[in-house]
Amino acid sequence: MSSLPPPEPRLIHGEPSWSFSSDRVEAAITRKGGHLAPVRFRLQGHEGEGGERIVEPYSIAPWAEEAPDIPPVLQALRGDFFCAPFGGNETPYRGEKHPAHGESANAPWQWEELRQADGVTTLHLSLETTIRKGRIDKEITLRDGHTALYCRHRLSGMKGKMSFGHHAMLHFPDEPESGRISTSRLYYGQVAPLPLEQPAEGGYSSLEPGALFSRLDRVPAKEGKKIDLSRYPARRGFEDLVMTVHWDRHDLAWTAVAFPAQGYVWFTLKDPRVLQSTVFWISNGGRHYAPWSGRHVNVMGIEDVTSWFHYGLAESAKPNELRRNKLQTVRELDPQAPFDVNYIMGVAAIPPEFQRVRAIRAGKGGVTLVSSDRHRVEVPLDLDFLYRGGENGAPNP
């Protein structure tokens, strides 16, 4: 195994960033906030089709190189980043006043090492937190032959309740309904209880605050309508947010976005005992105040979290609808027991007839993506990664 010396970050889309790669993935991560993008996946033709191509699914904020006077999390906004605590955090919690999405999404990360051995590359960064004393270790692993990102965040030395999660953001092709969103079976779905945006402040939303739903393709909107959130881009000029809980509470849970015209699927895999819920942030030009200015369009945040919506730690720690149903919106951290959040994001080439993911099934050496018309795509993955490391134990709502 070789451990390479720390390189100087280089400027990528306005932010000093470190780059690392495998034979199938090239990635960059910002020093500020640890935002992971751009990420380029090298896909081979499906089932013997010739040629290779590059896909870049993650979004980068349109103001990335403007250096506006805004919080660090918005300055760097791109790709995926880890939040602890997750959410706006406008309300202090037991004397702690965290920034939006926590120090982990705002503060400068420190280089630890880049390990490379036997076709496995791991970037290791760390962050000593100050608002709640502790440490977060970030490891992003790439494996030769795999078009996937293996993400591990280890929280150590911290005590008390914590909300947390990943904040992945995809930029969809500028074609109506170019992406088809699907999930493992849902147990619960709700629109954000409070209005997400206020027209008097230059923001607009289309969904009915607090409305419940059980399917992404039938979500209550204002004026009694039902909206299909499983096809995007749609509803230009609106900003909306919903949260879902997967039924698979003790097994594999997933979310997938198929891009049939582009010939690939992006997907996430998680242990729902650790990341309980998924927040869908649907950002399509509904914010007209700076720095958004109506130009943040065709973006969807697919954010796997343990949290009460996007409100923050104080709201997630209080009694809420999920906690009353024995589901998690926080975890109790023990300073003597490191807590790992393991997460997989990947892409796979699909044939032209593959329109939407119906199921993701675990198998030997990876997973199988099954389409709505039962076409199958085999994806090599280290699925055991989700369950390795840490002293996470059983869920403790």
- Residue 5 pLDDT exceeds 90: no
Q: pLDDT tens digit string along 271-315?
A: 999 999 999 999 999 999 999 999 999 999 999 999 999 999 999
Q: Which residues of 199-212 are buried (b: 16+ CB within 10 A; e: fewer)?
A: eeeebbbbbbeebe
Q: pLDDT tens digit string along 320-372?
A: 999 988 899 999 999 999 999 999 999 999 999 999 999 999 988 999 999 98
Distance of CA 163 to the CA centre of its chain: 14
- Structural domain 2-387, CATH architecture: Distorted Sandwich (2.70)
Contact 151, 199 (CB under 8 A): no
Mean pLDDT of the chain: 94
- Residue 249 pLDDT exceeds 50: yes
CA distance 298 to 303: 16
* Long-range contact pairs involving 133-140 (C-beta distance under 8 Å, separation at least 24): 133/157, 133/158, 134/158, 134/333, 134/335, 136/82, 136/84, 136/104, 137/112, 138/34, 138/82, 138/109, 140/20, 140/27, 140/29, 140/36
Residue type, 167: H
Q: Which residues of 149-161 are buried (b: 16+ CB within 10 A; e: fewer)?
A: bbbbbbbbbbebb
CB burial of residue 103 (10 Å; 0-12, 13-18, 19+): buried
CA distance 77 to 60: 6
DSSP 82-149: EESS-S---S-BTTB-PPTT-GGGTSBPEEEEEEEETTEEEEEEEEEETTTTEEEEEEEEEETT--EE
Q: pLDDT tens digit string along 56-97?
A: 999 999 999 998 899 999 999 999 999 999 999 999 999 999
The pLDDT assigned to 62 comes to: 98
Number of Cα atoms under 13 Å in the Cβ half of residue 134: 25
CA nearest to 342, candidates 96, 91, 166 = 166
State the pLDDT confidence band at 49, using cuts at 50, 70 and 90.
low
- At 53, list the tokens: 């191509």
Domain boundaries, the chain: 2-387
CA distance 29 to 188: 33
> According to the 3-state scheme, what is the secondary structure of 278-291?
EEEEEEEECECCCC
State the pLDDT confidence band at 391, using cuts at 50, 70 and 90.
very low
The pLDDT assigned to 393 comes to: 40
The pLDDT assigned to 112 comes to: 97
- Residue 180 pLDDT exceeds 50: yes
Tell whether pTM > 0.85: yes
State the pLDDT confidence band at 395, using cuts at 50, 70 and 90.
very low
State the pLDDT confidence band at 230, using cuts at 50, 70 and 90.
very high
CA distance 287 to 296: 8
Distance of CA 344 to the CA centre of its chain: 10
The pLDDT assigned to 223 comes to: 86
The residues that bridge with 258 in the sheet, in sequence order, are 180, 265
| Neighbour tally for 395: CB within 10 Å | 16
CA distance 142 to 25: 7
Q: pLDDT tens digit string along 122-175?
A: 999 999 999 999 999 999 999 999 999 999 999 999 999 999 999 999 999 999
